[in-house]
């Protein structure tokens, strides 16, 4: 499965109002993968529009209506900008733009 990140926000160390560990929350439209959204522990590949690929482990998954968010500890918006693709399972990175 491959989806495109539509929004994100960082949780920074010592951020007021939270005691959450630092990392990145990425958000995507889950309507095309409603039955295929996995749980925590998932290994994902994140591909920037420029082609750089980062691998990460999802530690939290939340559903927000059609939206789904993954928490990626230790990453920042600079590591994974909005517009990047997230892939898991058998789908290759880039399939969201190629229509595979």
pTM listed for this prediction: 0.83
Q: pLDDT value at position 71?
A: 96
Structural tokens at position 63: 């559903």
Window from 8-17, 28-37, 52-61, 72-81 with minimum mean pLDDT: 28-37
Percent of the chain with pLDDT strictly greater than 90:
60
Annotated domain spans of the chain = 2-90
pLDDT tens, 63-98?
988 899 999 999 999 999 999 999 998 644 454 443
The C-alpha angle with vertex 17 and arms to 14 and 21, in degrees rounded to 5, equals 45
Q: What is the mean pLDDT of the chain?
A: 86
Q: Give the fold, CATH level 3, of 2-90.
A: Elongation Factor Tu (Ef-tu); domain 3 (2.40.30)
Q: pLDDT value at position 15?
A: 81
Are 24 and 72 in contact by the 8 Å Cβ rule? The answer is yes
């Amino acid at each position: 499965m491959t989806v495109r990140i539509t929004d994100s926000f960082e949780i920074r160390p010592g951020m007021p109002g939270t005691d959450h560990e630092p990392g990145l929350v990425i958000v995507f439209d889950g309507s095309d993968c409603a039955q295929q959204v996995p749980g925590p522990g998932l290994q994902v590949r994140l591909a920037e529009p420029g082609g750089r690929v980062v691998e990460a482990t999802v530690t939290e998954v939340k559903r927000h209506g059609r939206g789904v968010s993954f928490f990626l500890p230790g990453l920042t918006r600079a590591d994974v900008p909005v517009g990047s693709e997230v892939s898991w399972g058998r789908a290759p990175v880039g399939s969201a733009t190629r229509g595979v």
